[in-house]
Amino acid sequence: MSAPIIRRLAELRGKHRDWTMAGESIGVVPTMGALHAGHLSLVEAAKAACDRVIVTIFVNPKQFNNPEDLANYPRTEHEDAAKLAPYGVDAIYVPDPEEIYPQGFATGVSVTGVSDQMEGACRPGHFDGVATVVAKLFLQTGAGKAFFGEKDYQQLLVVRRMARDLDIPIEVIGCPTVREASGLAMSSRNLRLSAEGLEKASRLYPVLQRLAAELCGGASLDALQDDAKADLLAAGFEEVEYLSLNSSEDLRPLKTADAPSRLFAAAWIEGVRLIDNVSVG
Amino acid sequence: MSAPIIRRLAELRGKHRDWTMAGESIGVVPTMGALHAGHLSLVEAAKAACDRVIVTIFVNPKQFNNPEDLANYPRTEHEDAAKLAPYGVDAIYVPDPEEIYPQGFATGVSVTGVSDQMEGACRPGHFDGVATVVAKLFLQTGAGKAFFGEKDYQQLLVVRRMARDLDIPIEVIGCPTVREASGLAMSSRNLRLSAEGLEKASRLYPVLQRLAAELCGGASLDALQDDAKADLLAAGFEEVEYLSLNSSEDLRPLKTADAPSRLFAAAWIEGVRLIDNVSVG
């Protein structure tokens, strides 16, 4: 059964009121649409943990540092609703743009620390845009739990920090990255790759896995990363923007895996920027 | 009867839950303590409009651009509680500092536009600190109405914009400035003035009233402000930081009062910075 698509905040608040009065818990899965199996795994997790589930779909201009990336971002509302139909979610919130950024909107939320490196360094303003829109979506939906994929691990930590720091009463839950059979991390941006590009892109994950195993054995990233980058370029990547080893907890950069850590990468293929990360050890 | 002093967020959330379950409305009066009749008028307004009233007392380091001003800011919790006793407020929330800025705190809220001039220009970071702590206090208290004095008119507009933009479900209500018999706007900073300083400071309001009347008659602030500043210096002010005519609605600077407007001033006396404002027309 198709879930109702809600475009106005007032209607969403009405649902929230009814559900809260009935003592029902609410989960939210914030997305930018172009849903894939990764998103659907978040929906499943939300359904398992909450009485009511809201999926939000909003392509947030404030988190795109690159106008071309924003213009090219896939918008597939009909298909998204169809993909959600089997899951029995309670609302698909596709806010009218003025419900998010009304005339005169002038407020920003920013998080330092966990946002400083990697995506924060490469995409100026990106996490400010994420923190701002997610704060709004948390407060608009009034959800008690939110579900984010570990594929965007840095985003997960930024959002968790923001919610905690602003005392938004919501638990931010990270869910494992979902991968294609080839190992490629699911991403809406994969839609922009050719069949050949997809095949080349699938080399990223095994390279990260191999590096993680070597780091786990005590090697330093400095000693490994030139070879790893060469492997990726040889596989067909046009550019490796970063390979980075960071604490899983606060993302401080590490030279060796002497604390619980993750290995992160961003790389370009066919003009599309892909990111991925794996746990080390 | 003395209201309970609450220092822990968990306890405050417990009150919120009980009151909300009972269908009671909650108002909050955020203060930095050193309460005077201005604050108490906000408490009265809150009591008249809400079933339950929380007064918060927190001297917020993030909104002080000047460390000396922070160090000198009066802290008078006992006296504050005594002053509140006759009003029957339901809780005085004096959060332990780690309830506001816990270890690892890394999030900021900022508002552009209404915060750009006057206090925003003279006190770098001030309104970021205000917006951040007030967002937290709104979300910690879960109040549906908040009460702020028009003496800090720019702050009122910054806070209102922030709450609206972040979809915090709270109404931000401005209440008229309360003045001493002399006309001096009530302010916790007045405590730092000598008797002589207080007398000199009381010249600010009549000068603003006179200017407002002349502006109302069509004069431009440019034509009037040199004389007005000279009057204030002659009265004993050490420096007039600004005289500014601004739209009441969005604080855009005006040359003449050709829109609903207010006249704002900041001036120093005995090393203390005082602000005031009056409606024009």
Give per-residue pLDDT as tens, B130-173: 999 999 999 999 999 999 999 999 999 999 999 999 999 999 99
pLDDT recorded at residue A65: 86
Query: Which among A102, A104, A166 has CB closest to B139?
Result: A166
User: How confident is the prediction for chain A on average, in pLDDT?
Assistant: 96
**Domains identified in chain B, total number:** 2
Same domain for A227 and A145?
Answer: no
pLDDT in tens, A29-88: 999 999 999 999 999 999 999 999 999 999 999 999 888 888 988 889 999 999 999 999
pTM of the prediction?
Answer: 0.95
User: How confident is the prediction for chain B on average, in pLDDT?
Assistant: 96
pLDDT recorded at residue B69: 87
Q: Does the pLDDT of residue B226 top 90, yes or no?
A: yes
Lowest mean pLDDT among A43-57, A166-180, B63-77, B84-98: B63-77
pLDDT in tens, B23-64: 999 999 999 999 999 999 999 999 999 999 999 999 999 999
* Catalytic member of B36, B39, B78, B126: B39
For residue B114, tell me if it sits in a domain: yes
Instruction: Give the Cα separation of B135 and B159 in Å (integer).
Output: 8
For residue A243, tell me if it sits in a domain: yes
Are A109 and B161 an interchain contact pair (Cβ–Cβ within 8 Å)? Answer: no
pLDDT recorded at residue A1: 65
Portion of chain A with pLDDT greater than 90, in percent: 94
Which residue's entry shows tokens 């004389």?
Answer: B227
For residue B183, tell me if it sits in a domain: no
Measured over the CA atoms of residue B113, residue B114, residue B115 and residue B120, the dihedral's sign is positive
pLDDT recorded at residue B65: 86
Could you list the residue range(s) of the whole structural domain that residue A83 is in? 5-175
Tokens of A146: 């939110």
Q: Quick one: closest CA in B to A132, which residue?
A: B166
Q: Does the pLDDT of residue B1 top 70, yes or no?
A: no
Q: Quick one: closest CA in A to B23, which residue?
A: A21
Catalytic annotation present for B78 = no
What average pLDDT does this structure show over A241-263? 96
Q: Which residues of chain A neighbour B102 with C-beta distances below 8 Å?
A: 164-165
Same domain for B94 and B213?
Answer: no
pLDDT recorded at residue B187: 96
**CB pairs < 8 Å spanning A and B:** 76
Same domain for B171 and B76?
Answer: yes
What's the CATH number where A213 sits?
A: 3.30.1300.10
Same domain for B168 and B210?
Answer: no
For residue B180, tell me if it sits in a domain: no
- Per DSSP, the residues of A193-237 read S-HHHHHHHTTHHHHHHHHHHHHHTT--HHHHHHHHHHHHHHHT-
Same domain for A157 and A192?
Answer: no
For residue A122, tell me if it sits in a domain: yes
More confident residue, B67 or B80: B80
Which residue's entry shows tokens 């007392």?
Answer: B57
Residue A242 three-state SS: strand
Helix (H) or strand (E) holding A92: strand A91-93
Q: Quick one: closest CA in A to B132, which residue?
A: A166
Same domain for B29 and B110?
Answer: yes
Same domain for B157 and B238?
Answer: no
Same domain for A222 and A267?
Answer: yes
Query: Which among A106, A107, A162 has CB closest to B107?
Result: A162
Instruction: Give the Cα separation of B45 and B173 in Å (integer).
Output: 9
ipTM over cut 0.85: yes
DSSP secondary-structure letter at B253?
A: B
For residue B181, tell me if it sits in a domain: no
pLDDT in tens, A94-133: 999 999 999 999 999 999 999 999 999 999 999 999 999 9
Contact A123, A65 (CB under 8 A): yes
What is the DSSP pairing of strand B52-57 with strand B91-93? parallel
Q: How confident is the model at residue A245 (pLDDT cuts 50, 70, 90)?
A: very high
pLDDT recorded at residue A69: 87
Same domain for B196 and B70?
Answer: no
Same domain for B170 and B195?
Answer: no
Instruction: Give the Cα separation of A145 and A161 in Å (integer).
Output: 14
Query: Which among A104, A112, A136 has CB closest to B166?
Result: A136
Which residue's entry shows tokens 């938004």?
Answer: A168
Same domain for B165 and B222?
Answer: no
What average pLDDT does this structure show over B233-261? 97
What's the CATH number where B148 sits?
A: 3.40.50.620
Tokens of A138: 């948390």
Q: In degrees rounded to 5, what are phi and psi of residue A97?
A: -50, -35
